[in-house]
Amino acid sequence: MLDELSEYYADLLDGTYDCVDRIVLNGYFRLGQSPGGFRTWWRNLEGSDDNLDTAHLMRMAGRFSRRVRAHAKAHQIPLIDCAQGERKHELAKQHLPQDPNFVGVFLILVGRAPAPVWDVVRSKGGTLINIARKTPAPYVNHYSFHIIDPDWGHITIKLCGHPHARQAKASKDWAAASSICRQVLKRERRLSLSAKRCQQRINFARAFCKSDELSRV
């Protein structure tokens, strides 16, 4: 069955195909992006940077992991440790809630990927010498929280367990892309664009659907 956009432009299309696309929003925390900002954040959190070292950062990542797993167990939320290269969106499809009224987290996927983790260097006397990203970036756990939102439907929030190792990401799957296409369709009808401009819009829609993912999460 053709969607509304394809039906409207059927005489200009050579064919149709299905694809899984998503829109990704990156969460940006300014203090966490530079050594000085990270040190300021730690001082605000702990009251001083006396205990700012790599060991404490690793412990924080460990606590995050344990608490996520404990929460999932307590609330009977499936938590799966994914192998490298495993298609997480396929796993998510298998666990989508059957209850149409469900709202909240329904699945947590854990996967390992490189992340720019902070490394803190202190002298033998305990003086803070340097804060820098580890090179090469180590593979660490990333947690994808799959959520049913009452307004957006299925969304995913991905976090790294290490403090400010990378940006948080929120993604929306093909439903958002379909919404964009419907908006384009309504705009075309309202403005009665020329055939040339209509073709430009079709090219945009084709390019939007061409990649199997806008951004892999």
Using the predicted structure, report yes or no on whether residue 66 has a pLDDT greater than 90. yes
pTM above 0.85, yes or no: no
Residue type, 121: V
Looking at the fold, whether 194 and 206 belong to one and the same domain comes out as yes
- With 50 as the cut, is the pLDDT of residue 142 above it? yes
Long-range Cβ pairs for the range 157-161 (8 Å, 24+): 158/217, 160/115, 161/61, 161/64, 161/65, 161/68
Do residues 148 and 197 share a domain? no
Same domain, 33 and 137: yes
Q: Does residue 8 sit in the same domain as residue 70? A: no
Q: Residues 59, 155: one domain?
A: yes
Domain shared by 67 and 141, yes or no: yes
Instruction: Answer whether 120's CB lies under 8 Å from 54's CB.
Output: yes
Domain span at 200: 1-22+173-217
Is there a single domain that holds both residue 42 and residue 97? yes
Number of domains within the chain: 2
Residue 51: strand, helix, or coil: coil
Give pLDDT, residue 9: 80
Peptide bond into 136 cis (omega under 30): yes
Percent of the chain with pLDDT strictly greater than 70: 68
pLDDT of residue 193: 43
For residues 142 and 189, membership in a common domain is answered with: no
| Mean pLDDT value across the chain | 76
Radius of gyration over alpha carbons of the chain, in Å? 22
CB 217 within 8 A of CB 142: no
Residue 187 pLDDT more than 60? no
Residues 107 and 95 in one domain: yes
